[in-house]
Each structure stands twice: as C-alpha cells, then as structure tokens.
Homo-oligomer: A and B are copies of this chain.
Amino acid sequence: MKKIQLAEDLQFSQIVHGHWRLAEWDLSPEELLSLMERCIEAGITTFDHADIYGNYMCEELFGQALALKPSLREDIQIVTKCGIKLISENRPHHTIKSYDTSKEHIIASAENSLKKMNTEYVDVLLIHRPDPFMDPAETAEAFHILRKEGKVRHFGVSNFTPKQMEMLQNEYNGPLVTNQIELSVLHEQPFFDGTINHLQKEKVRPMAWSPLAGGRLFKGNDEKSVRVKKALEKVARETEASSIDEVAYAWLLKHPSQIMPIVGSGKMNRIEAAVNAANLPLTREQWFYILQESMGKEVD
C-alpha cells in the first residue's frame, strides 16, 4: 500500500477506511477490532471519522474496539471532524442544523472525540463544512490550542473551495494537510472547477468521500450512472479487474494529485477491491474514456 505524505511527520495509507456507516454494520467491539486488524494487514492504517457520524455514535463504537487493544493506536492514523451541529436526540439543545467553528465549539468537540474514541490525540481534525459565519482567526486559534495541548497533531478541511482554504490557511500557522471532498467517476467536477488544481498547486493531498458515488454507481438508473457503469465494465474487461469498484478506485488512485479514497464498507471483500485497484494497469486513454463517459462528451 502506497503511503501518502501529508506533512513532514504525517503519512496516511492511500486507501482510508471510512467509519461513516459504522453504526449500521452492527459489529461487536471484537468484530470491529478484527475488521480493523484485517485492514491494517492489508495496509490500510488510516481511519476516517466525524463527531456526527451515526448520529454522534460512531466515534464511541470505534473507541470501544480500540479499548480492547490500546497498543493498536500507534499503528494507525485517526481523522475526525467537527463544525456541524445536527438536530439529534443526542444533542437536544440544537434547534436547527447549523455550523459552528467557534473556538469554544471546536475545542469542546475535539475533546469529546478523544474521550469517545479512547485516544489521547487524533492525527488530523477537519472542519467538516465551510462555515459562512467563520471567523478564521478564531478557528485558527482553536487549532493552535489543540495542537499545543497535544490533542490534535494536524488540521485540515472538508468540502472547502480554494478561497475558503486560503482564508483559513492565512490565519493558521501550520499546514492544512488535506481537503476531504466528494470525488468519483460520477462526481468529476472538482477536476474542472479549480478545487483539484488548487490542491495540486499547494501540494495538499485530497481525500475522496463517496468514491463509489454512494452506491449510485451500482443502482443508479439515471443516464449518467448507466453510461459510466458501462464504461467501467468495459475497462474492467480490458484490465481484467475483478469488479467495477476496482476500476472506479483505480481512476482516483491513478491521478497525479495523490487522491486518498475513503472506503466506507464493512465487508473485507469490498475493501480489498480498493486495495487491489492500486495495481490495476489503467492507461491514460482508459482514464480519459471514463472521464468522457462521466462528462457525457468528448474532451474539447
């Protein structure tokens, strides 16, 4: 498994295991620990969370597994996020879905994540969504405090535009180490709207959420989904890939910006498709063929 250098002292596995749907997998702590160990054996050492995942429950499930084998902590990298406030019976004081990137909320959210996950630090904390009410100086101050206290090693963002990143980077005195964005064969816009160009320029490595378009790739009946699925099937035959998943992952892995797809499955065989994708011999023309079917037209 290729390692991606996010900062001088931080490496992720290129494939990241995403715990977005962890609560739905219905695993005991022992079963989750076992799944994580199999991931690690396969080279996947980075795990992606957010405070809000599973209605604020996933971090705790992860923490219960980690508590069974605390020594695992030093072999893995943990990403979590903050900044969204959901309406939830677990947060009864929230009256509306909103964002909060105040110093107070970021620090409280991060500290709560540490407690839930049974860890003394997270490797990377992301601001989950760009907050139109952000005071970037205040947000950066929260970062400086959490870093100084050893609670968070590095910071990043998610779903940010270049301008939003620049605004926050201008106040934060360390590197923003990633921008976690939606990116897949069905969501190719970031290759054209400046998002990926900006990250390439700044040498910030993107994480890709929904790298399989959240199942739409398999079940979607819309024109684009059907067209792209056919293209992936054709390339799968040409490359002898074992599934279209593998081709969809390879399409991301092959890109020079060093994209890290987040695999959100609890099944080891689905996870392995991503791992195997790294070795798929995808040609430049095959990459453009998939892009063409995604755009619904030839390149200009």
Contact = CB atoms under 8 A, between A and B. Distances in A.
Contacts of A256: 133-135, 138
A291 B197 contact: no
A170 interface: yes
Which of A84, A288, A292, A298 has its CB near the most chain B CB atoms (within 10 A)? A288
A18 interface: no
A99 B288 contact: yes
B136 A255 contact: no
A46 B134 CA distance: 27
Given A167-B200, A256-B134, A300 B129 contact: yes
Task: Report how many copies the assembly holds.
Answer: 3
A163 interface: yes
A163 B197 contact: yes
A194 interface: yes
Nearest to A255: B133
Interface of A: 84, 94-100, 102, 129, 132-136, 138, 159, 161-164, 166-167, 170, 188, 191-192, 194, 196-198, 200-201, 255-256, 284-285, 287-289, 291-292, 298-300
14 contacts: A94-B285, A95-B289, A96-B288, A96-B298, A98-B288, A98-B299, A99-B299, A100-B284, A132-B192, A133-B256, A133-B284, A163-B198, A164-B194, A166-B197
Given A132-B191, A167-B200, A167-B201, 11 more contacts: A95-B285, A97-B292, A98-B284, A98-B285, A98-B289, A99-B288, A133-B284, A136-B200, A138-B256, A162-B163, A166-B197
